[in-house]
């Protein structure tokens, strides 16, 4: 299995630009999680989906952030407009609702907003 795939691995953009992060979960997994990691705040849950349906988006910091999961094999996290304080590593993780609940993480996308 290829594991969770995230793209891009690195993104550098200017303040005000739109940023789209992409995630492909492990095949057969039906829960998908987006996390953000910073030195100051550690690992924070942004949003998660079960069977492509958003379950909890209370961690999404502002309306500038949005996430979609149009099908079981793809999800996006969009920031529009981006701000320097959005600079962080964004992780996607997936798990199996019928499994043993552990989450498998992708390699992350390092976002830098200048």
Partner 1 sequence: AQSVTQPDIHITVSEGASLELRCNYSYGATPYLFWYVQSPGQGLQLLLKYFSGDTLVQGIKGFEAEFKRSQSSFNLRKPSVHWSDAAEYFCAVGLNQAGTALIFGKGTTLSVSS
In the complex with partner 1, the residue whose CB is nearer, 15 or 43, is 43
As measured in angstroms, the least distance from the Cβ of 84 to partner 1 is 21
As measured in angstroms, the least distance from the Cβ of 95 to partner 1 is 8
Q: Could you list the residues that contact partner 1 (CB under 8 A)? A: 4, 30-31, 33, 42-43, 45, 48, 50, 55-56, 91, 93, 95, 97-108
Q: What angle do CA 82, 85, 89 make, to 5 degrees?
A: 85
Q: How far is CA 80 from CA 47, 66, 67, 68, 97, in A?
A: 16, 8, 11, 14, 31
As measured in angstroms, the least distance from the Cβ of 16 to partner 1 is 28
Residue from 40, 37, 87, 34 nearest 57 by CA? 34
In the complex with partner 1, the residue whose CB is nearer, 71 or 100, is 100
């Amino acid at each position: 299995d290829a594991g969770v795939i995230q793209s891009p691995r690195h993104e550098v953009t200017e303040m005000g630009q739109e940023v789209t992060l992409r995630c492909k979960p492990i095949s057969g997994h039906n829960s998908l999680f987006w996390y953000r990691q910073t030195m100051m705040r550690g690992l924070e849950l942004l949003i998660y989906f079960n069977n492509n349906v958003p379950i909890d988006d209370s961690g999404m910091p502002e309306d500038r952030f949005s996430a979609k999961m149009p099908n079981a094999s793809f999800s996006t996290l969009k920031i529009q407009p981006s701000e320097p304080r959005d600079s962080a590593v964004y992780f996607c993780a997936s798990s199996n609702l019928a499994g043993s609940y552990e989450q498998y993480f992708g390699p992350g996308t390092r976002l830098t907003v200048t």
